[in-house]
Amino acid sequence: MCFSLTCSTHHPINCIIPPYMLKVMALRGDEKTAQMARTLLKQTEKLREERAEHNSPTPPPAAERGVFVSRAVTEAGSLCCPERRIHDGEFKAALPGKLIRSEGDPATGDADADLAYDGAGEVFGLFAEEYGRNSLDGAGMPLVATVRHRRNYNNAFWDGTQMAYGTGDGKLFQTFLELSVIGHEMAHGVIQHSGGLIYENQSGALNESIADVFGSLALQRSLGQQVHEADWLVGRGILGPGINGVALRSMKAPGTAYSDDLLGQDPQPWHMDHFVTTTDDNGGVHINSGIPNHAFYLFCNYIGGKSWDLPGRVWYRALQNLNNPMATFADWADQTMDAVIELTGMGSIETQMLRRTWKLVGISI
């Protein structure tokens, strides 16, 4: 491989590859390629500061789209069971920690471990039984999770290979082992293995929104809820007992999940008119996700029934066909329109409802 780490010699590869492509390589490449891409990105950022250089991202041509569909739909015979591995972080930061429950083991009596195990099973079932996907990568990868990650840790995350859940500090948060949060983190894995969405600005907010959508679907499906029966909250019950709020986010009413002296005000908008431009939170990925979140909620309400049925299939199909890690909200809306047309036909009532949905949140297609 002939990557050069400097442009001083005008190496053809280093100087030709634009930043957006390097970001895609950092996201999709194997470890070695990703590492080189990240190094080159850092140098490109320095150069860009000097030259104010900027390249517009270009989505791949239509003919190249849909490359993830073949991996996303597994033949029925090969799709069976999850391979769960739950570890105890023992309040330390090193991952994955001590293995405490493997696939097929009986319940441990350790509430955190059993919640992580059962939750992973529910989320696996959603993707497998509803969308024909065999685990996060579509190829049966083990579902590795660590509970009790770090001490008083107010967070849960996907690290690229596994999930990790803190216990919370008991004040701001009291747990992160709630099914919509578990589904959210696992959905980040699905997104990563579906071509990925770069974790900043609009593509990052889409990444967050899609994770919220499938987290919410996992919860609704496990409860057998119809659209109108669901609360559309992400992380219900995880806030500390003294916090004035009900959840991390509300897909039904973005911006209303909490309002508290310690936690602040839920900053999510539901319409493009209130899109937040910020450098915090990777460009507001957890903020502006409220817009596509609300679009999904509206679409489900127009359609009725079970949200993981047609609406979930539309979102899942759109994700598999997107193949644009720098997608904007408008790109995503277009992709969902393509998906609903493929599933229900041109001019169907569902197609009309989805178009109306996007218009209601300020995205015209």
Partner 1 sequence: MIIEIAAEGGVGGTATSALHKRIDVDQQAEPIRQELCEAFEPEELARLAGSPRARGADRLTYRITVTDHQQKSQIFSIREDQLPPQMLDLIDQM
Chain contacts with partner 1 (rule: CB under 8 A): 27, 34-35, 38-39, 42, 91-95, 150-160, 169, 172-173, 176, 181, 184-185, 188, 191-192, 199, 207-208, 211, 235, 248, 262-264, 267, 280-282, 284-287
Residues 87, 178, 185, 294: which is the catalytic one? Answer: 185
Nearer to partner 1 (CB atom), residue 129 or residue 169: 169
Closest separation in Å from C-beta 72 to partner 1: 19
How far is it, in rounded angstroms, from Cα 333 to Cα 301?
17
Closest separation in Å from C-beta 158 to partner 1: 5
Nearest to 220 by CA among 93, 307, 283, 348: 307
Nearer to partner 1 (CB atom), residue 33 or residue 351: 33
Residue 62 phi/psi, 5-degree rounding, is -55, -35
Contact 325, 23 (CB under 8 A): yes
How far is it, in rounded angstroms, from Cα 39 to Cα 299?
42
The β-bridge relationship of strands 163-165 and 143-147 is parallel
Q: Which residues contact 198 (CB under 8 A, 6 or more apart)?
A: 23, 24, 27, 204, 207, 325, 326
Q: Is 286 a catalytic residue?
A: yes
Q: Which amino acid is at 156?
A: A
Q: Which residues contact 323 (CB under 8 A, 6 or more apart)?
A: 59, 60, 64, 65, 66, 67, 68, 195
Closest separation in Å from C-beta 255 to partner 1: 13
Contact 331, 323 (CB under 8 A): no
Nearer to partner 1 (CB atom), residue 209 or residue 344: 209
Nearer to partner 1 (CB atom), residue 182 or residue 310: 182
Closest separation in Å from C-beta 175 to partner 1: 12
Helices marked H in the chain: 12-16, 19-28, 31-51, 69-72, 111-125, 131, 179-192, 201-223, 281-284, 290-303, 310-322, 329-344, 349-360
Contact 27, 325 (CB under 8 A): yes
Nearer to partner 1 (CB atom), residue 46 or residue 356: 46
Closest separation in Å from C-beta 313 to partner 1: 23
Nearer to partner 1 (CB atom), residue 182 or residue 318: 182
Residues 208, 286, 294, 350: which is the catalytic one? Answer: 286
Closest separation in Å from C-beta 176 to partner 1: 7
Contact 36, 1 (CB under 8 A): yes
The neighbouring-strand residues paired with 85 are: 102, 144
Q: Is 45 a catalytic residue?
A: no
Residue with tokens 């496990």: 222
Residues that are catalytic: 185, 286
